[in-house]
Structure 1
């Protein structure tokens, strides 16, 4: 049969698609997001670990640990260090001291009741306490009663890690935990709260009573630089077979992650996806092109996911910034420039124009999603201050996502006297 594969070749290709591809990966789990490496593989965070361990250290002898809040952008090692440090504290407890820990993902357990239930279920051992915690059927006060009983029955000290704390609705859970001993809810057990947030201003949301009760220590995680990211990637090299990973590939992954947010999770995920592409290609090593392809796919998927969950006005606001970036060859703009571009987009698309205040709120929403970075800059003496909106994502990637939207596919944007459309950007 000329020019096409026969049945045997097609069957072989199909079998290969479902076979184990092990030319690339050796221990792939080392690239999992939840993997906690050994101490010698935790890079550039010794000082943060030392400070957190110092805060929690009293629990080793059954005394009350200090509360601690970890702040920093996504992928800067906050959760990794919290998991590692709390695990080591539990292991280091003296023989007659029982220290427990639980990790609550507040992006999932985002209400007070869900957070309490997750904490109770994570700390309970029915064989020790004799308590059974059902998935449903209990009210909030009942879960609190179970929590206090479990803590006093099982532990001298407990470390409660609240990951993505800024996603938790309200502050009542923090209030209850921080005042449990003072309110005579606990007689034996002491509680240490480790809050983790991407939002460094999260503390401003708390009322004064909660702040007074917490008295937490703040530890800020700065973004990784390129050298640190390179070391982090090298520390996961055992995930691959020998000779699969070259220095060029490691440097490329580190550079791409450093250029954006200094995000170690992005660097590791990028390496994993590049390895998967190499495995699909049947290659015996990862190339820089595999990394570039993986990066393009990841960025496109992320932007598509963000746009899919956005309203038409949110999209128009982002499109204003993206259009300016593509025309002006810059990524940073003042609020009046963004609003003028937004007005042009509304005029061309027939969309209702919102007020400047509402557009500012929508820009803040994109900042929350880490698509934009907004900073206030002084304009000099007698000139006041103004906001800079900096686009963090690649504008060409966002443009590609917008091109898939019928409403915005051919929207133009004015720059001076020139109107530019997607077709000629």
Structure 2
């Protein structure tokens, strides 16, 4: 079977027959004998219609200027960007984590090497925000002390090999230092990229913090004995000891996977030896506080009272994700503006919830492979039929087998199915826990969904390869398997 992952679809864009052409055709059948008069009347009719159409329509410039002249509701859109580094008085519910990270990284102020850190916890719980805020303040103080401090940050989500990751670090180091990278991205050994990174750091910095966000995503080639993130940690943490780096460096590894360190090789673990900082979920009250400290993103008195509690409640349902809460506020405000409303109200938040949830799922599933789509669809189909919205890995795999048989796709072993589902946990669509049937029985994984399983199913069925499978048949298979669970 063709397993091409493109989600492109063609839309029939051929123009239909014009209104006036059809009218003229009808008039040609009329018993009128004065064709000259008829033609003149038709031309006049066409000119009048064209004039009316022009008067009713607006140019792009007119529409832009009209929107620009409207009284907007959002005053500062940067505060509604989850990635924007806010002032510390806007950081809520993370006092202990903020204190820990600050205390451990502050030794850079004395031109000393800070310890390595491992920040872990669910998505949207402040890990990246805290790190960026602390490093931003360290940089400000170091400037006054003539200490050349740098923060080199990369998100590992889209980095597929160690070589790509090293080059990305090199580029970010060069950008931070305001210099050029002197090795090409392709066609050179990874060692040359490491050497270039070391050169840039040594020549331009006294102290550097490497921030490796979503580090667990950097798996690398499957034929390697240990994941790429393990080799990256080893190389960075050993660089100073091997005199490759003269600058003081600290590595801050950030992950949603609380068990990531279990996959780090023994050599890397021995040299990395991080201080752990755990970030737990925000509760609804903390999310409300976060949103209230960003409420001045809107003009005064345009956000109705029930908006913030409702947005916080929606976000609290999905692992206490502050990013989602902030996104909900932004989308609700934008919806109110587009509709020309004077205030942001509860209905805008509910509409935003539907939009954000659907868009988030779409963003994820459009970029994943066919096999991951099949795994995700099978598991979501099971979760949609269980009372607690969970899906056992064994049941999900059986449904996956049915799907692959139905569309004649390659069928992987259960271990591969589980691994692909584990990879999807980094998108916060799904999470898992290990469960046992009992003391004398084996273990299994139980998957829980951060979004409504029905939304995931609806989105995945937009893929024509999945849509050919009867929804009723899948549901029948799922229900039979759920009944057989022990």
Gaps of 5+ in 1: 420-425
SS at match of 2:79: helix
1:142: how far off? 4.2
What is the distance in 1 between the residues matched to 2:406 and 2:191? 55
**1:273–1:379 Cα change, 3 Å:** same
Query: Deviation digits for residues 66-93 of structure 1, max 9, x if unmatched?
Result: 1111112211111110100111122233
What is the distance in 2 between the residues matched to 1:107 and 1:337? 29
- Tell me the residue number matched to 1:274: 332
1:293: how far off? 1.4
Question: Would you say the 8 A contact 1:72–1:222 is kept in 2?
Answer: yes
- Tell me the residue number matched to 1:69: 118
Range with greater deviation from structure 2 (225-234 or 90-99): 90-99
Work out the number of aligned pairs and report it: 412
Matching of residue 175 in structure 1 with residue 237 in structure 2: no
Matching of residue 186 in structure 1 with residue 248 in structure 2: no
**1:125–1:335 Cα change, 3 Å:** closer
1:227: how far off? 0.7
Range with greater deviation from structure 2 (281-290 or 358-367): 358-367
Matching of residue 97 in structure 1 with residue 144 in structure 2: no
What is the distance in 2 between the residues matched to 1:158 and 1:64? 9
Question: Would you say the 8 A contact 1:344–1:414 is kept in 2?
Answer: no
Matches within 5 A, 1:322-333: 322-333=380-391
1:144 to 194, 201, 205: 194
**1:322–1:139 Cα change, 3 Å:** closer
Gaps of 5+ in 2: 1-47, 221-227, 482-486
- Tell me the residue number matched to 2:204: 154
1:263: how far off? 0.8
- Tell me the residue number matched to 2:55: 8
SS at match of 1:23: coil
1:96: how far off? 4.6
What is the root-mean-square deviation in Å for CA atoms of aligned residues? 3.1
- Tell me the residue number matched to 1:124: 177
Look at both structures and tell me which one has the larger radius of gyration over its CA atoms. 2
1:40 to 77, 83, 89: 89
**1:255–1:151 Cα change, 3 Å:** same
1:407 to 468, 471, 476: 468
Matching of residue 288 in structure 1 with residue 288 in structure 2: no
SS at match of 1:37: coil
Query: Deviation digits for residues 84-141 of structure 1, max 9, x if unmatched?
Result: 0111122233625332222223335552432342243134345xxxx76466587544
**1:14–1:100 Cα change, 3 Å:** closer
1:352: how far off? 6.5
Query: Deviation digits for residues 318-366 of structure 1, max 9, x if unmatched?
Result: 3333333434443113334334444554566566665444433343343
Question: Would you say the 8 A contact 1:120–1:143 is kept in 2?
Answer: no
TM-score under structure 2 normalisation? 0.76
Question: Would you say the 8 A contact 1:109–1:118 is kept in 2?
Answer: no
SS at match of 1:26: coil
